[in-house]
Amino acid sequence: MERRDFFKKSMAAGFVTALGSFKDVFGLNIPAQSQAYDLVAVKGGEPDDMFDKGIASLGGMKNFVKKNQKVVVKPNIGWDVTPEKAANTNPKLVARIIKHCFDAGAKEVLVFDNTCDNWIKCYQNSGIEKAVKDAKGKIVPGNSESYYQNVDVKKGKRLTKAKVHELILDCDVFINVPILKNHGSVKLTIAMKNLMGIVWDRGYWHRNDLHQCIADFATYERQPDLNIVDAYNVMMQNGPRGVSINDVTKMKSLLIAKDMVAIDAAATKIFGMEPEDVKYIKVADEMKVGTMNLQKLNINRITV
Amino acid sequence: MKLSSLKKYRVVISLLFFVSITLLFVDIKEYIPADVYPVVLYLQFIPSLIKSLDTFSLVSTGFIVVLLFTLLFGRVYCSFFCPLGVLQDMIIYFSKKFKRRKRYEFKKPHNIIRYSILGVTALSLIGGSITAVLLLDPYSTFGRIITNFLRPVIIGINNLTHWILASFNSYAVYPFEFKGISIAVFIFSFAVLILILWMSVKRGRLYCNTVCPVGAFLGLISKVSFFKIRIENSTCKNCGVCEFVCKAECIDSESKKIDMSRCVNCYNCFTACSTNAIVYKANLSSKKSLQEKAEINLNKRDFLKKTFVYFVGWNGIAFAQKQILVYKESKIPENRKFAVSPPGSKGLEHFNDRCTACGLCVSVCPTGVIQPSFLEYGIWGMFQPRMDFKKSYCNFACIQCTEICPTGAILPVKVEEKKLIQLGVAKFIKENCIVETQGTECGACSEHCPTKAVHMIPYKKLLLPEVREEYCIGCGACEKACPTTPYKAIYVEGNYTHKRAKRNEELQQQRRVDYKEDFPF
């Protein structure tokens, strides 16, 4: 780790500084004017088309990605199953997001997940590796602890430290692309839960109140700049891995938002549950990570 | 073909086999397709022999080809196809670079040792114990040497390259997750390697003619091979060069005799002889001198006597051991009675009787769940690979290990079939579970379960894992995922005989989606 830092610092010190100041000028925290909606919900189309329409209503990807920026797209690639089983994010959606990033001028777009099953098989059989390569993005492994760096989760109650993938700490734009699924123990996995794939030691979370840890990590300062929930094919039971195609219902929906709690709440409703029923959403709302009160939000509803 | 150029062909062919077999064991990037494995390993004597005991197919005829070669020309296997033999040739070659040219001289064979070892190995195999074969098969010994000493180096180089590249933000080389080595196998392989190094540097192919049971067996056949290497009295100038170059120390240049039972067919003598006095002669007359006959009889009697003693002793102990199998001391609260054998191995009985512990499945397993055992199968199944769910778990749709096993200890299965093979059954220890001890949700086991044999049921306002054994395939995903320390709350108890799990065919939770309908918010 130290050696790597040394390399980075010595070899590319100037470059990094330049990027840093660049980030301030075109900072992502400055709200773009056309981004009037807090949440965009699209339904009835194909994953890529729905994303085109959704992102257009937020003023396009150029409001999130600036020229020459380094973008990380983090889908769910947790399981060694084929796309129609809906355990991993739809590869078509991932490809389309990457295309929008490049169209907005991104220098590079990197994709990874800390998978549950064997990572090589997950990358291959999810169809995501191919989709990323075809879209000229870069697929990066997340299987080695050496990629992960210690960070403090200052507002965390149970989770106060975590090891986060260096790309997340390194990138200019972080786009979180979960798939909406049933989950055996926390009921649903959506945006906040998908962040378990950017950390190394998940066992700690499971040992120390999973719901609280999910909410805790959502408070971590490097939050996603954009969340895109894939609810095209939705696993209704036997999640998060699924057993068969019988577990999946075609919902043809897509959500886009900056607020993870809001997007999780909206996705919960699409699934047919109430946000209060999913404890970590409630806890994150109480911890002021975002709001699960959808009434407060300016939502754009698009039916294709 | 000139006899003096035979050596050249031998070197080329042997290196071809050596390199390709070595590559199978270090192919960490999975470049080599599964159907190449049986081709490369076709001529490996012991694996092919063991495989043919069950399934006599084209793939398992390799040992017959070797036998035919031996019947025709002598121990061709030892210098052309045997990776351990070629390894020794390489050691000999390089050791010569460091010291004055070594001269071999004719030595008497260590018949008692070599035929005792052969007898024990053969009879214990017939008696149903594979242990001796497992420890002595030259191919498997070679496999263990490569997996323990070369493979870690290859992985190290890969990961170092990755590390350096990664510090320049390049992800071109992926790191390989090294699951460590098994200490017992490492120590044993190290000892064998040292023995081989020492023997080959000092005395050429002494190991092959003293320890190796395959060498001893093929040597017996070589005695009656059709073509024999002979020194022709008429052209021989008694210079003794053939004896100096003979790694097997089997040429007696004074009496002009060659001991074909020890000749490894390296053909160095053909090349060395300046008068072409060494020839391959067809053995048309089967007349033997009286003295030779007497020698053979003596050997035979000795051999039978000795092996009988060993056989009785060996199998007696083996039988006693088998009853105990894999009992672990109660220090480990998981208290697994049976270790879990890889998919396609049918169960412990089939597997333990056929595996020679070459470690090829350990090398090809993409998740690293297959690891050499120590005492998990009992002392007589030492080093035979098992499923180590502390290190990893079996990938649901993967059949890689079933495609490459050269001995048939692991048999080929189709993916759909494999998904229902029950290697063992998950056992839940509620007292260890997070939900019970911490009072918080966890469910990591159920998350990872590919068949949802482990599902979550309501328990004190939380969800608690429950195992539906009929769906469980014993893949170990739950055990690996279980975050409790130091002991797991769920573990896989091995099936002595693999069973067939029930397919989990839960119906869809019906939900109609009307895309015209309003959003629910």
CA separation for the pair B164, B160 (Å, rounded):
6
CA separation for the pair A93, A83 (Å, rounded):
11
Query: For residue B206, what are the domain limits?
Result: 5-147+179-295
pLDDT (tens digit, 0 to 9) for every residue of chain A, 304 residues total? Answer: 455 555 555 554 444 444 444 444 444 444 444 448 999 999 999 999 999 999 999 999 999 999 999 999 999 999 999 999 999 999 999 999 999 999 999 999 999 999 999 999 999 999 999 999 999 999 999 988 888 999 999 999 999 999 999 999 999 999 999 999 999 999 999 999 999 999 999 988 998 899 999 999 999 999 999 999 999 999 999 989 999 998 999 999 999 999 999 999 999 999 999 999 999 999 999 999 999 999 999 999 999 8
Q: Do A294 and B521 touch (CB under 8 A)?
A: yes
Contact list, B165 vs chain A (CB under 8 Å): none
Size of interface A-B (CB pairs under 8 A): 150
- Could you tell me the CATH number of the domain that includes residue B471? 3.30.70.20
CA separation for the pair A177, A224 (Å, rounded):
10
Contact list, A206 vs chain B (CB under 8 Å): 434, 442-444, 483
The three-class DSSP label of residue B500 is strand
Q: Measured between alpha carbons, how far is residue A60 from residues A53, A100, B122 in Å? A: 9, 8, 75
Question: B173 or B407, which is more confident?
Answer: B407
Q: Do B481 and A238 touch (CB under 8 A)?
A: no
Q: Is residue B499 part of a domain?
A: yes
Contact list, B521 vs chain A (CB under 8 Å): 41, 265-266, 269, 294, 299
Residue B281 reports pLDDT greater than 50: yes
- Can you tell me the mean pLDDT for B363-370? 93
Cβ atoms of residues B377 and B386 within 8 Å: yes
Express each pLDDT in B84-126 by its tens digit: 999 999 999 999 888 766 789 999 999 999 999 999 999 988 8
Contacts of B298 (CB under 8 A, 6+ apart): none
Q: Is residue B290 part of a domain?
A: yes
Contact list, A250 vs chain B (CB under 8 Å): 513
Domain check: are B287 and B429 in the same one? Answer: no
The torsion region of residue B390 among left (phi > 0), alpha (psi -120 to 50) and beta comes to alpha
Closest CA to B384 of B37, B134, B145, B141: B134
Express each pLDDT in A159-188 by its tens digit: 999 999 999 999 999 999 999 999 999 999
pLDDT given at position B437: 84
Lowest pLDDT segment from A9-18, A265-274, B156-165, B193-202: A9-18
Substitution target from A70, A233, A243 for chain B, most B beta carbons within 10 A: A243
Express each pLDDT in B293-340 by its tens digit: 555 554 555 555 444 444 444 444 444 333 333 322 224 477 888 999
pLDDT given at position B436: 86
Express each pLDDT in B452-502 by its tens digit: 999 999 999 999 999 999 999 999 999 999 988 888 999 999 999 999 999
- Can you tell me the mean pLDDT for B434-450? 91
Closest CA to B373 of B427, B406, B336: B336
How many other CB atoms sit within 10 Å of the CB of residue A152?
A: 11
Contact list, B457 vs chain A (CB under 8 Å): none
DSSP E strand stretches across B232-304: 251-252, 257-258, 278-282
CA separation for the pair B188, B196 (Å, rounded):
12
pLDDT given at position A8: 52
Amino acid code (one letter) for A130: K
CATH code, A3-303: 3.40.50.11440
Q: Do B441 and A211 touch (CB under 8 A)?
A: yes
For residue B514, name the pLDDT band (cuts at 50, 70, 90). confident
Express each pLDDT in B116-131 by its tens digit: 999 999 998 888 888 9
pLDDT given at position B335: 80
- Asked which of B295, B316, B334 is the last residue of a domain, the reply is B295
Contact list, A266 vs chain B (CB under 8 Å): 521
Closest CA to A287 of A225, A222, A215, A217: A215
Closest CA to A170 of A6, A19, A7: A19
Contacts of B220 (CB under 8 A, 6+ apart): B118, B261
Q: Is residue B85 part of a domain?
A: yes
Å between A239 CA and nearest CA of chain B = 7
Q: Is residue B29 part of a domain?
A: yes
pLDDT given at position B285: 52
pLDDT given at position B97: 85
Burial B164-183 (b: 16+ CB within 10 A, else e): eebbebebebbbbbebebbe
Domain boundaries, chain A: 3-303
Express each pLDDT in A93-124 by its tens digit: 999 999 999 999 999 999 999 999 999 999 99
- Asked which of B249, B268, B295 is the last residue of a domain, the reply is B295
pLDDT given at position B259: 95
Residue B4 reports pLDDT greater than 90: no
Q: Which of B169, B505, B520 sits opposite A269 (nearest CB)?
A: B520
Q: Which of B168, B446, B513 sits opposite A250 (nearest CB)?
A: B513
Q: Do A303 and B515 touch (CB under 8 A)?
A: yes
- Can you tell me the mean pLDDT for B343-348? 96
- Asked which of B259, B280, B295 is the last residue of a domain, the reply is B295
- Can you tell me the mean pLDDT for B284-298? 51
- Give the CA angle between residues A294, A298, A300 to the nearest 5°: 100
**In total, how many domains does chain B have?**
2
Q: Do A240 and B507 touch (CB under 8 A)?
A: no
Contact list, B438 vs chain A (CB under 8 Å): 207-209
Q: Is residue B214 part of a domain?
A: yes
Å between A218 CA and nearest CA of chain B = 18
Contacts of B103 (CB under 8 A, 6+ apart): B244
Q: Is residue B96 part of a domain?
A: yes
Substitution target from B393, B452, B472 for chain A, most A beta carbons within 10 A: B452
Q: Is residue B507 part of a domain?
A: yes
For residue B509, name the pLDDT band (cuts at 50, 70, 90). low
pLDDT given at position A5: 56
Contact list, B441 vs chain A (CB under 8 Å): 185-186, 209-211, 279
pLDDT given at position A23: 43
pLDDT given at position B300: 52
Q: Is residue B407 part of a domain?
A: no
Express each pLDDT in B204-246 by its tens digit: 999 999 999 999 999 999 999 999 999 998 999 999 999 999 9
ipTM: 0.85
Domain check: are B291 and B431 in the same one? Answer: no
Q: Do B442 and A210 touch (CB under 8 A)?
A: yes
